[in-house]
């Protein structure tokens, strides 16, 4: 049995989130929370809230033991890109891409 938590349209690049995803994938939830609290990345705060939500979903919706959970999967997919214009010299305009992410964390019970 597994429990999921999704965060959609997070205003952070998926490339930055994937670095934090790789740190906690396969770890038990207590270790993953400790790693996320000590990681100085912008994505770690979002991932910590999402991990707490996934653990709460497992405990309340699927009657799993929260002490026996581990992060089985975590990934970040690209969301829609907000396109903005930045004026530059000679009357030109450069594009700025503000990227968004859809982040998913799946926790499961250890066998």
pLDDT at position 12 is: 97
Phi, psi of 67, deg, nearest 5: -80, -10
pLDDT at position 67 is: 93
> Which among 52, 64, 56 is positioned nearest to 1, based on CA atoms?
64
pLDDT at position 111 is: 77
For the packed helices 14-24 and 42-61, what is the interaxial angle rounded to 10 degrees? 60
User: With a cut of 50, which residues of the chain have pLDDT below it?
Assistant: none
Stated pTM of the model? 0.91
């Amino acid at each position: 049995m597994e429990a999921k938590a999704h965060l959609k349209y997070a205003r952070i690049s998926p490339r930055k989130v994937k670095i934090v995803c790789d740190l906690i994938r396969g770890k038990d939830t207590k270790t993953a929370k400790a790693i996320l609290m000590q990681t100085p990345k912008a994505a770690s705060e979002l991932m910590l809230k999402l991990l707490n939500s996934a653990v709460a979903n497992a405990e309340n919706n699927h009657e799993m033991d929260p002490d026996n959970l581990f992060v089985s999967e975590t990934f970040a997919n690209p969301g829609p890109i907000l396109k903005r214009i930045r004026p530059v010299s000679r009357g030109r305009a450069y594009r700025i891409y503000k990227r968004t992410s859809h982040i998913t964390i799946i926790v499961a019970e250890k066998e």
